[in-house]
Structure 1
Amino acid sequence: MPITMYESAHIDTFTRDNLPSPGLWPELKFTLPELTYPERLNAAAALLAGGAPDAPAILWEGGAWTYAELTAEASRIAHVLTADMGLVPGGRVLLRGRNTAMMLAAWYGVLLAGGVVVATMPLLRAPELVTICNKAEITLALSENSLMDELAVAAKLTHSKLKIMGFGEESTELEAHMKDKPTEFTPVATAQDDVALLAFTSGTTGQPKACMHFHRDVLIMADTYAAHIVEPRADDVFCGSPPIAFTFGLGGLVVFPARFGAAVALPSGPSADAFMDTIERHGVTIIFTAPTAYRAMLGQMEGRRLSSLRRCISAGETLPEATYHAWLEATGLKLMDGIGATEMIHIFISAPYDEIRPGSTGKPVPGYEACVLDDEGTILTPPATGRLAVKGPTGCRYMADERQKTYVQEGWNVTGDTYSQSADGYFTFIARSDDMIVSSGYNIGGPEVEAALLAHDAVAECAVIGVPDADRGQIVKAFVVTTKDIAGSDALADELKAHVKKTIAPYKYPRAITFIHELPKTQTGKVQRFKLRS
Structure 2
Amino acid sequence: MLNYQQYAENFDLNQAAQEFLSGDLNALNACMECCDRHALPGRIALFWQGKDGGKLQYTFTELQKRAAQFANFLKANGVGKGDRVSGLLPRTPELIITILATWRIGAVYQPLFTAFGPKAIEHRVNLAKSKFVVTDVVNREKLKDVENCPAIVTVTGDKGTGLYQGDYSFWAEVERQSSSCPIEYLNLDDPFLLMFTSGTTGPAKPLKVPLKALIAFGSYMKNAIGLQPQDSFWNIADPGWAYGLYYGITGPLLLGQPTLFYEGGFTIDSLCQIVKDYNVNNLAGAPTAYRMMMAADQKQMQKLRGQFRVVSSAGEPLNPEVIRWFDEVLDAPIYDHYGQTEVGMVVCNHHGLAHEVKAGSAGFASPGYRVVAVDEQGNELAYDTPGILAVDLEQSPMMWFGGYEESRKSPFLKHYYLTGDTAEIHQDGSMSFVGRSDDVITTSGYRIGPFDVESALLEHEAVIEAAVIGVPDPERTEIVKAFVILADQEAASDKLADSLSQFVKTRLSAHAYPRVVEFVTELPKTPSGKIQRFLLRNQEIEKQKTQLNVAS
> Would you say same fold, with TM above 0.5?
yes
Shift of 1:128: 1.3
2:433 partner amino acid: F
Q: Which residue of 1 aligns with 2:62?
A: 69
Contact 1:464 1:476 (8 Å CA) reproduced: no
Q: Which residue of 2 aligns with 1:423?
A: 427
Would the alpha carbon gap of residues 69 and 428 (structure 1) be closer, same or farther in structure 2, given more than 3 Å must change? Answer: same
Does 2:340 correspond to 1:277? no
State which of 107, 128, 147 in structure 2 corresponds to 1:136. Answer: 128
After the TM superposition, which of the residue ranges 46-55 and 315-324 deviates more from structure 2? 46-55
Shift of 1:135: 1.1
Q: Which runs of 5+ in 1 are unaligned?
A: 1-28, 437-448, 481-489, 499-534
Q: Which residue of 2 aligns with 1:259?
A: 254
**What is the CA–CA distance in structure 1 between the aligned matches of 2:46 and 2:346, rounded to whole Å?**
27
**CA offsets, 1:384-406, max 9 Å, x none?**
2211001432343344323451x
After the TM superposition, which of the residue ranges 426-435 and 265-274 deviates more from structure 2? 265-274
Alignment of 1:275-424 (within 5 A): 275-300=271-296, 301-304=298-301, 305-306=303-304, 307-344=306-343, 346-353=344-351, 355-390=356-391, 391=393, 392=396, 393-403=398-408, 405=410, 407-424=411-428
After the TM superposition, which of the residue ranges 232-241 and 163-172 deviates more from structure 2? 163-172
Q: Secondary structure at the match of 1:401?
A: coil
Q: Which residue of 1 aligns with 2:211?
A: 215
Contact 1:74 1:105 (8 Å CA) reproduced: yes
Contact 1:120 1:245 (8 Å CA) reproduced: yes
Contact 1:463 1:479 (8 Å CA) reproduced: no
Shift of 1:244: 1.4
Contact 1:336 1:351 (8 Å CA) reproduced: yes
Q: Which residue of 2 aligns with 1:39?
A: 26
Q: Secondary structure at the match of 2:276?
A: helix
**What is the CA–CA distance in structure 2 between the aligned matches of 1:339 and 1:58, rounded to whole Å?**
27
Would the alpha carbon gap of residues 464 and 188 (structure 1) be closer, same or farther in structure 2, given more than 3 Å must change? Answer: closer
1:397 partner amino acid: G
1:421 partner amino acid: I
Would the alpha carbon gap of residues 168 and 254 (structure 1) be closer, same or farther in structure 2, given more than 3 Å must change? Answer: farther
Q: Secondary structure at the match of 1:330?
A: helix
Does 2:224 correspond to 1:229? yes
Q: Which residue of 2 aligns with 1:197?
A: 193
Q: Which runs of 5+ in 2 are unaligned?
A: 1-10, 19-23, 50-54, 161-168, 441-470, 482-522, 525-533
Does 2:48 correspond to 1:60? yes
Would the alpha carbon gap of residues 123 and 357 (structure 1) be closer, same or farther in structure 2, given more than 3 Å must change? Answer: same
Q: Secondary structure at the match of 1:396?
A: coil
2:32 partner amino acid: A
2:87 partner amino acid: L
Contact 1:94 1:142 (8 Å CA) reproduced: yes
**What is the CA–CA distance in structure 1 between the aligned matches of 2:294 and 2:325, rounded to whole Å?**
8
Contact 1:194 1:214 (8 Å CA) reproduced: yes
Contact 1:266 1:278 (8 Å CA) reproduced: no
Q: Which residue of 1 aligns with 2:105?
A: 113
1:224 partner amino acid: S
Q: What is the number of equivalent residue pairs in this alignment? A: 433
**What is the CA–CA distance in structure 2 between the aligned matches of 1:497 and 1:45, rounded to whole Å?**
61
Q: Which residue of 1 aligns with 2:154?
A: 166
2:430 partner amino acid: Y
Would the alpha carbon gap of residues 145 and 411 (structure 1) be closer, same or farther in structure 2, given more than 3 Å must change? Answer: farther
CA RMSD of aligned residues (A): 3.1
Would the alpha carbon gap of residues 203 and 168 (structure 1) be closer, same or farther in structure 2, given more than 3 Å must change? Answer: farther
**What is the CA–CA distance in structure 1 between the aligned matches of 2:12 and 2:375, rounded to whole Å?**
26
Fraction of identical pairs, as percent? 23
2:34 partner amino acid: L
**CA offsets, 1:181-228, max 9 Å, x none?**
2233221112222111110114566510111111221x1233322222
- What TM-score, normalized by structure 1, do the two folds share? 0.74
1:348 partner amino acid: V
- What TM-score, normalized by structure 2, do the two folds share? 0.72
